[in-house]
Structure 1
Amino acid sequence: MIRLAATTSPVDLAWAAFDAAALRFHYMYRHVDLTTDTPADSAIRQRLAGETARLWNEWRELFLSDGSEGSA
């Protein structure tokens, strides 16, 4: 899932923001012990999940509207 930003285009910058959030989110779940999970810990993960989804949607909108080569 890691993609290096080759330029500083809005699409690449949005991807970098999403990718960083997705990696943080994955790391949080990889190291969580659900038997000792607290409501506060769960709330933090839920906020990060929402932010990750928001950044994905932002990148997707920019990517799909980008007229450069490689866009869908």
Structure 2
Amino acid sequence: MKDYIIWLKSGETISGTMADEEVERLKQWVKSIPQEPGEFNDNEGSLVIMPERVEAVAINDTIVMKQIGY
């Protein structure tokens, strides 16, 4: 699983967590300079991205938060 953030030209962001296979599809879609919308699945459902609105994409390893307390 990997975390992703997609920055839109409007200044808004889309973020979530995707399976490694979906992350690879997202990378290839961005690198191909797409003309058609891309559809991807993450932990919360489906994501449809319009390529003309995308400014940047970041993909990082998921960070597991340790529990704090007694």
Whether these two folds match at TM > 0.5 is no
Query: What TM-score do you get using the length of structure 2 for normalisation?
Result: 0.29
More helix by share: 1
Instruction: Specify the structure having the higher radius of gyration (Cα).
Output: 1
More strand by share: 2
Query: What TM-score do you get using the length of structure 1 for normalisation?
Result: 0.29
